[in-house]
Amino acid sequence: MVTTTSRRRLFQSAAGVALAGSRLSAAASPALPTVKLGSHDITRLIIGSNPFNGYSYGIYSLDHHMREWSTEENIAKTLRMAEQSGINTHQFSYNPKGMAGIKRHQAEGGKLNWILLGGGEMKDNLALIPQTAKLGPLGIVHHGGVTDQRFRAGEIDKVHTFLKTVRQSGVLVGLSTHDPKIIEYVEERNWDIDFYMACFYQFSRTTEEIKKMLGELPLGKVFLEGDPARMCKVIRATKKTCLGFKILAAGRSAEGPKELEAAFRFAFENIKPKDAVIVGMYPRFKDEVRENADIVRRVAGLPT
């Protein structure tokens, strides 16, 4: 846990920050604080894509509910809401829906930066990396679930080869993982990467590991309350920029306004001032986009 003095410094540059994505209209929301990712200014709140892909990490019916709503039109509309709310960056996975959504956003005049998570076909077809790099992502990231699987299987060299191919493509190099030990492993070996995507909850535990810890197997995904602190300790130890994700435990920490804001505050108080967070947003029933952006402004001491 960082000290009170450190907390005061978390957003020390926020007061003077320019409106992220200055091409937004005059009717856009007040500024969100930004950090550097390479030479780029990205907002400390990034809109993710798991809801668009139907990943609720809950129950099948909710997954289906999300996929049914997440048409190309609704994805583009949500990205426009993000831009109007002061967010200037979108992170999504390499799949047809994700690529179609960002292309439509751009065709409609949207200017969001985008960071690509290289899962799906890209994880094995490295020829797709330079092809996709030509489309203008800020960076391409090795998929977290694949990172964890390859690390466990003794195939970490495949991850390294992927990252070297990204470097050769000319965009920023990112590594995603759910396991703090993998960040420590990469740091010890000084791999040539620019940033990490770091999950607040460790999904990479095997069923044997979980059963050993708990004495039995729970139903569904495991979200342990101590995982965020464990990952944040590693985030603070690296000098590289980290993008924390699943800070809301796939919605489990967002049951009410107080819980939601507390989860954001914990994240920003326990990552570095140069770091940011990625949050999936599903504005089907309420404007989660504006709500999340306003919370980040309050945490930063900015007007909402």
Q: Three-class SS of residue 24? A: coil
Distances (CA, A) of 137 to 102, 113, 218, 222, 292: 10, 7, 38, 32, 24
Nearest to 162, CA basis, from 207, 117, 201, 124: 124
Nearest to 110 by CA among 121, 101, 119, 118: 101
Residue 114 has pLDDT above 90, yes or no: yes
Q: Judge contact between 35 and 278, C-beta under 8 A.
A: no
Angle at which helix 288-300 crosses helix 72-84, to 10 degrees, equals 30
Is residue 139 within 8 Å of 38, Cβ to Cβ? yes
Which CATH number applies to 4-11+35-300: 3.30.1360.10, 3.90.1010.10, 1.10.3720.10, 3.20.20.70? 3.20.20.70
b/e for 247-274, b at 16 or more Cβ within 10 A?
bbbbbebbeeeeebbebbebbbbbbbbe
8 Å CB contact between 234 and 270: no
Question: What integer pLDDT is reported at residue 7 of this predicted model?
Answer: 45
Give the tokens for residue 210.
């979980």
Residue 201 tokens, joined: 């909850």
- 142 Ramachandran zone, left/alpha/beta (phi>0; psi -120 to 50): beta
**Dihedral class, residue 19 (left if φ above 0, else alpha if ψ from -120 to 50, else beta):** beta
Average pLDDT over residues 235-256: 93
Which ranges of 85-155 does DSSP label H, i.e. alpha helix?
96-107, 128-133, 144-152
- CA 59, 255, 1, 293 dihedral sign is positive
Concatenating the DSSP letter of every residue in 51-78 gives HHHT--SS-HHHHHHHHHH--HHHHHHH
Q: Which residues contact 192 (CB under 8 A, 6 or more apart)?
A: 163, 164, 167, 173
| pLDDT average, residue stretch 166-186 | 98
β-pair partners for 92: 116
What does the pLDDT look like over 48-93, one tens digit per residue? 998 998 777 778 888 888 899 999 999 999 999 999 999 999 999 9
Least confident of 12-21, 70-79, 139-148, 203-212: 12-21
| Residue bearing tokens 């929301």 | 29
pLDDT at 27: 54
The pLDDT, as a whole number, for residue 301 is 86
Question: Are the CB atoms for 73 and 98 separated by under 8 Å?
Answer: no
If pLDDT is split at 50, 70 and 90, which confidence band does 15 have?
very low
Burial of 208 by CB count in 10 Å (0-12 exposed, 13-18 middle, 19+ buried)? exposed
- Percent of the chain, pLDDT > 70? 91
